Amino acid sequence: MAVAVSRRQAATYPRIFGRRIRLRAPSPQYYFLIPMAVFSILPIVYIVSTAFKPLEELLLFPPPFFVRRPSLDNFTDLLLATNALAVPFSRYLFNSIFVTLTTVLLQVLVCSMCAYPLSKARGLPGTPFIFGMIIAALMFAPEVTAIPRYLVVQKLGLIDSYAALILPGLAWAYGLFMMKQFMDNSIPPELIEAARVDGASEWTIFWRVVMPNVAPAWNTLIIFGFIAHWNDSFSPLVFTRSEAMKTVSVAMIALTNGAGSIARQGAAAAAAFLMTAPTLIVFLLRQAKVIQTMAHSGIKS
Amino acid sequence: MATRPEVFVPARPAVQAQRSALARFWAKWGIYYLFMAPFLALFAVFVVAPVLTAAYLSFTYFNVLEAPRWIGWSNYKLLFLEDDVFLIAIANTLRFATLTGPVGFFMSFIFAWLINPLKMKTLLALCFYAPSITAAVTMGVVWKIVFSGDRYGYLNNWLLRIGAIDEPYQWLAEQASIMPVIMFVALWMSMGTGFLVFLAGLQTVPSDLYEAGKVDGISNPLQEVFYITLPMIKPQLLFGSVMAVVQGFSVFGIATALAGLPSPLYAGHTIVAHLYDFAFIRFEMGYAATVAVILFIWTFGLGRLLMRIFSSKNEY
């Protein structure tokens, strides 16, 4: 009976390119979520649409939300402006990519390595104190620690080096707190105990048992870290002196804040678009991994 | 066979007694300290040292150019007894944080939970996270057009057209509307950190738990949330709530992007805006550090409270 019904239904599916397409009413959540999502993504739409606006549309007031006659003028303007830069644009790009990737990878590694004992080594002396300090660090307004941090970087003789751009960001209280919270509940102690009985070293346990089980956590952390460091213009402005050490975020400010800022509005819009694009790509790549991991980690207790 | 243990057994405790307490301690815990060493070393140099320096600065007069001069508690006295603007900033920040903190936290969880079972979730996650990707300044630009005080502002234009108002309303200049507008935009931005962390947390809940729950008589999704999902992502909830508190009380970027610094009649002035004003506009670093210490004590107290609420006694 049930089989007969489903067969009759199957026969009524419309065919597109010879395949039966299953048309189902979407889940009720969509009716609520899609309008909210559209509302939420407006700033990205605005940035993209503004990047393609010709100058006369940029100067309209009130600015139209959507571009009417899209043009690539802004991008050519930006490209022309880069000729005036002290060093080739590729140098800024290299600095940005190198600093961001190194920082994010080391950051995730350093934070995860510290989170593992804090979460899983029961009775390790000093744990509550260390964890308390990390939470405290999270709550101290970063605005006032900026100058003392500059003094530290200067005392260490790191000014104007890649180390000055990378090292201060590695001990990330936020990242450690997050990794520890994920390890607390996602990894059953029996799993670690079993690996230990099998003769695995702590290092092996960390790489083979702990990290695969908290893959959603570090993939999310990569998103946070990438966005923060890619957009960061404060560290390169403060910690480096020579033009060859600056990053794209700084170059973009120089390009768009230059003389005659009205004429540069188009370049600024193009710059905003180009700065946002990599973060969107990294987000999509990593978020897809966050969601995938569920299917792969079948070793839950 | 039987003689062997007799030879070796007495030797063992003797060897162990010879090893110092330190060596035994190291053998047991050393590897863990090595795991933590890179973080702790960097943390001490680049975080603890600057924070302690800043705390010390709160007892000094420091204008960045001259060496700090010790002045004891006078910054603190000044802050509470004579700085009326700081009291306004506290009131505004409290209003902001008590509303946007909890509401943002619950919204983040509900949205993460709603989109988790859907096929389009990566795309939806991108949409909801989008406001956090773009910088506060960019969003300030977009929202300023919406809330612009003339008749061309999107909101005024629309309200005039439907006849709700007769003349344009100064959304970002009237004392009564500045804070609500900031809160509205902040809520729109609130699907940030917490949202992504909850979404990731939901991935770590083993799916067989839900099946086991069904066998044990869980019949509706609401029961599933309360008996399985929430207990399983308790650590992520703690993280999300602490971040909501920290972000709520350190609101600054979006407030100044919308209302300016200083805002009209200080209606959009927040604690961190006050701090920023003294640190980078008046260059009174000592006073700014005092504001930071007060803010720190307050958020840290709340953080401890949250940790007590979410402390997971039912760990594996």
Q: What is the pLDDT along chain B (316 residues), one digit of tens a residue?
A: 444 444 444 445 555 556 788 898 888 899 999 999 999 999 999 999 999 999 999 999 998 888 899 998 999 999 989 899 999 999 999 999 999 999 999 999 999 999 888 888 889 999 999 888 876 666 777 788 788 888 778 888 889 888 888 888 888 888 888 999 999 988 888 888 899 999 999 988 887 888 888 888 888 888 888 888 898 889 999 999 999 999 899 888 888 888 888 888 888 899 999 999 998 889 898 999 999 999 999 999 998 898 888 875 544 3
Closest by alpha carbon to A179, among A120, A100, A128?
Answer: A120
Contacts of B279 in chain A (CB under 8 A): 143-144
CA distances (Å), B197 to each of A178, B62, B311, in order? 8, 39, 18
Asked if A256 has any chain B CB less than 8 Å from its own CB, the reply is: no
Contacts of A191 in chain B (CB under 8 A): none
Confidence tier at A300 by pLDDT (50, 70, 90): very low
Task: Verify whether the Cβ–Cβ distance B42 to A167 is below 8 Å.
Answer: yes
pLDDT at B1 (0 to 100): 41
Confidence tier at A114 by pLDDT (50, 70, 90): very high
Contacts of A284 in chain B (CB under 8 A): 122, 126
pLDDT at B51 (0 to 100): 92
Residue to mutate among B134, B228, B304, with most A CBs inside 10 A, is B134
Comparing CB atoms, the residue among B39, B235, B272 nearest residue A113 is B39
Its ipTM equals 0.84
Residue-wise burial string across A270-295, b where 16 or more C-beta atoms lie within 10 A, e elsewhere: bbbbebbebbbebbeebbebbbebbe
Class of domain B80-310: mainly alpha
d(CA A287, CA B248): 25
Cis peptide before A62 (omega within 30 of 0): yes
Q: Which residue has the tokens 């903190």?
A: B101
Chain A nearest-CA distance from B141, in A, is: 9
Task: Verify whether the Cβ–Cβ distance A29 to B118 is below 8 Å.
Answer: yes
Asked if A281 has any chain B CB less than 8 Å from its own CB, the reply is: no
Comparing CB atoms, the residue among B29, B122, B142 nearest residue A42 is B142
At B70 the three-state DSSP class reads strand
Q: Which residues contact A218 (CB under 8 A, 6 or more apart)?
A: A108, A112, A179, A211
Asked if A154 has any chain B CB less than 8 Å from its own CB, the reply is: no
Domain layout of chain A by residue ranges: 38-71, 82-295
Contacts of B89 in chain A (CB under 8 A): none
Task: Verify whether the Cβ–Cβ distance B135 to A231 is below 8 Å.
Answer: yes
CA distances (Å), B35 to each of A170, A194, B30, B189, in order? 15, 20, 9, 36
Q: What is the DSSP string of A151-209?
A: HHHHHTT-TTSHHHHHHHHHS-HHHHHHHHHHHHHHS-HHHHHHHHHTT--HHHIIIII
Percent with pLDDT over 70 in chain A = 85
pLDDT at A163 (0 to 100): 94
Contacts of A65 in chain B (CB under 8 A): 154
Contacts of A102 in chain B (CB under 8 A): none
At B262 the three-state DSSP class reads coil
B-contacting residues in A 11-70 (Cβ below 8 Å):
27, 29-30, 32-33, 36-44, 46-47, 61-63, 65
Cβ atoms < 10 Å from Cβ of B282: 11
Asked if B310 has any chain A CB less than 8 Å from its own CB, the reply is: no
Task: Verify whether the Cβ–Cβ distance B232 to A113 is below 8 Å.
Answer: no
Class of domain A82-295: mainly alpha
Comparing CB atoms, the residue among A46, A136, A141 nearest residue B292 is A141
Q: How many CA atoms lie within 13 A of A224 on its CB side?
A: 23
pLDDT at A158 (0 to 100): 92
d(CA B22, CA A93): 50
Domain layout of chain B by residue ranges: 3-57, 80-310
Which residue in chain B has the smallest CA separation from A299?
A: B206
* pLDDT over threshold 80, residue A96: yes
* pLDDT over threshold 60, residue A234: yes
